[in-house]
Amino acid sequence: MRYRVLRPPYCYRWAVLILTLVTITTFGVAALRGSSAEGAPTATKPVNQGKSTPARATPVTAEVVRHTERPGRVVALTFDDGPDPVYTPQVLDLLSEHDAVATFCMLGSEARRHPELVQEVLARGMRLCDHTVSHDRDLRTRSEQRITAEIVGGWTDLQIAAGRDVPIPYFRAPAGNWSERTSAVAARHGMRSLAWSVDSRDWTLPGAERIVTTVKEGVAPGAVVLLHDGGGEREQTVAALAELLPWLLAQGYELGFP
Ligand SMILES: [Zn+2]
């Protein structure tokens, strides 16, 4: 009788013990799975961010850059609206001839048409700058979505044209029409807004000599010079560059980056 009376509690204890073990195991595995499932997106996020902004080491500010990266007698030449199959190679040859570097503010639409030029610009040690997909001069007045599409789209076009993850440290607003919003969107994607301190006004086609004079008069240590290798007739710019490069070097300037 006693035996029979005592037996159920013993059975109950074993059942409780087994149930507890099963519960711990089940919940333990579930918890591990849960944490790894939750951990996955957090682990993926930085990777994605890294992918969308390969060269970004530190967060980028929305401040507009108008001077060279390094202090001293340095000048940064920037070429906009390319790549162009006629003028970009000529500009690259002149730069290489003088061991000079420059920054190329390219349009996504043109980069897509001439990916080999994007690759050549990179192979020559130049830097890329995102000048949007389609050069919408009124970009600053557009919606945030449209601004993002133009800026991130241009960035993506350059990456695809390059054929690999490449640093694109700068963004330049079409026609220099900056706004807080365009700079903020660019900064979020790891690009600093790049302006200039010397406008060569080569886009007005004033003649090579006039371009040379404008740059000579405006240049100073730390200057960022606006020039164009795309978007129309750029023979004057190429001719002016052939004169400006030896002159800059003779003045003791080094060619650098913004
Ligand atoms: Zn432009």
Q: In one letter, which amino acid is 257?
A: F
| Cα 228 to ligand 1 centre (Å) | 8
**Helices 144-162 and 180-188, packing angle to 10 deg:** 40
Please give the pLDDT value at position 28. 46
What parts of the chain have a pLDDT lower than 70?
Answer: 1-58
pLDDT given at position 16: 46
Distance 49 CA to ligand 1 centre (A): 27
Spatial separation of the C-alpha atoms in residues 124 and 132, rounded to whole Å: 22
State pLDDT tens for residues 85-140: 999 999 999 999 999 999 999 999 999 999 999 999 999 999 999 999 999 999 99
Distance CA 179, CA 181 (A): 5
Token pair of 113 as six digits: 């048409």
Tell me, what's the pLDDT at 10? 53
Any idea which residues carry the catalytic annotation? 80, 228
Q: What is the pLDDT of residue 117?
A: 98
DSSP code of residue 71: -
Residues near 2 by Cβ (< 8 Å), separated by ≥ 6? none
d(C-alpha 151, C-alpha 81), whole Å: 14
Choose among 108, 188, 178: nearest CA to 148: 188
CA distances from 210 to 73, 165, 174, 205, 218 (A): 23, 39, 23, 9, 12
Task: Tell me the C-alpha to C-alpha distance, in Å, between residue 202 and each of 6, 97, 111, 209, 236.
Answer: 102, 22, 22, 10, 7
Output the CA 167–ligand 1 centroid distance in Å.
20
Q: How far is the CA of 243 from the centre of ligand 1 (A)?
A: 23
pLDDT for residue 9: 52
Q: Both tokens of residue 104?
A: 């190329």
What is the rounded distance in angstroms from the CA atom of residue 124 to the CA atom of residue 18? Answer: 70
Beta bridge partners of 194: 65
Helix (H, G, I), strand (E, B) or coil at 99: coil
- Cα–ligand 1 centroid distance for 81 (angstroms): 5
